[in-house]
Structure 1
Amino acid sequence: MNADTASTRPVDLPAVITRYLDAHQSHDTATALSTFTADAVVTDDGRTYEGTSAIESWLSPSSSEYTYTVTLTGAEHVDATHWTAGNHLEGDFPGDVVDLAYWFTLQDGLIEGLVIEP
C-alpha cells in the first residue's frame, strides 16, 4: 500500500461493490449486472467487455462454468472514485487457487470500470 491509499475493512467498501461481489459469488448475474453503468468496461483474463450486453455475456459463463469459493482478503480506498479489493479464490478452475485484485472505478453510485488481475 502506498502513502496515498487508505486501508479499508471489507465492511467499509461502498455498497455497490459489496453488492457486486456478493452477487457474483452467489451466481446472481442479474444483480451483479445491475451494479454496472450502461457503458461500463470490464477487463478480466486479458479480455475487455464494454457495455452491459458484453458484461452480461462475461458474467453468465463465469458464474456457472466453475465451482469456487471467494474470500475477501482486503480492500483499499484509492481516491473518491477508485477502490481495490483483494480476493482469494479456490475451486475447480485451472490452477485451483488464485489471488486476484479487483480494481473498481465508480461513477454516480455504480461501477463504471472493473479490472481483475493477479
Structure 2
Amino acid sequence: MGVTGIGGFFFRAADPDRLRDWYAEHLGVGSKPYGSWEVQAGPSVFAPFPADTDYFAEDRQWMLNLRVDDLDALCASLTEAGIAMITKPEWNMPGVGRFARIHDPEGNPIELWEPDAES
C-alpha cells in the first residue's frame, strides 16, 4: 500500500488551452482535452525547497522538472523555436545528470533533466 507515482500536475493558467498547446508542441507533454500522456518509468523527485531558495524565481511557488532522454536535441529544438534557454555548468551533477531551464509562455519555470546513465 502507498503511493506508486505522480498521477497528475495541476495548476492555474490565464489561458489554459494556449498553455496546453505550447506544452504539447514544444515538450511533447499532454494532449487535448485533458493533457495526459504516457510516461516512462524512472526516478521522480518530490522536494520542498526552503522559502528563501534562489534555485528558482522568488515570485514562483513551484518549478516543474521534466525528465528527458536527449537534452542536447531538445535544447536545439527549443532554441530553434525561439524559446530562451538557460544552462549553467554548476547545475550538472555527476551521478545525477544534466540540466537546462526554460519558461513557459506564462513565465512558469521548467527544468529539463537528463539523468546520468547510472541514476
Structures share fold, TM-score greater than 0.5: no
TM-score, normalised by the number of residues in structure 1: 0.33
Kindly indicate whether structure 1 or structure 2 has the higher relative contact order, using CA contacts under 8 Å at least 6 residues apart.
1
Give the TM-score taking structure 2 as reference length: 0.32
Of structures 1 and 2, the larger Rg is shown by 2
Normalized per residue, the structure richer in helix is: 1
